[in-house]
Amino acid sequence: MEDPESERRGPLGPRDRREGEAMSLDEAGRQLEAAIHDARVAFDCIELDDLERAHTNAITARAAVDAAEYAIRVETERRAGEQEEAGGSGSAPESSGPGGSSEELPG
């Protein structure tokens, strides 16, 4: 019987996944570069007392940061999903902050 997971994954192999990962993180980097540029323009516009243009560039800087955050979050979730698949059901806790959980698994 064929593995139902293979149908969902399609023809993408490990190499293709790495390319998708790089594209997602590259996009995050581009968005952050755009945010830096727009923030600098907004700063300069404030110095020139062009508040309307400063406001517009501050908004576009925020939008670029939001887009970068989203790309990073998608990649983080994708990696977490891969770890769950690889580790099975007995993997690490889903959300552990600083200090984490010190519970031992029975075994």
- Structural domains counted in the chain: 1
At 20-40, the pLDDT tens digits run 666 789 999 999 999 999 999
| Domain carrying residue 68 | 18-82
Regarding pTM above 0.95, the answer is: no
Residue 87's pLDDT is: 82
pLDDT of residue 97: 44
For 74-92, the pLDDT digits (tens) are 999 999 999 998 886 554 4
Which among 80, 73, 93 has a CA at the least distance from the CA of 28?
A: 73
d(CA 68, CA 62) in angstroms, rounded, equals 10
Residue 99 lies in a domain: no
Whether residue 52 lies inside any domain: the answer is yes
- Is residue 70, in this structure, part of any structural domain at all? yes
17 or 69, higher pLDDT: 69
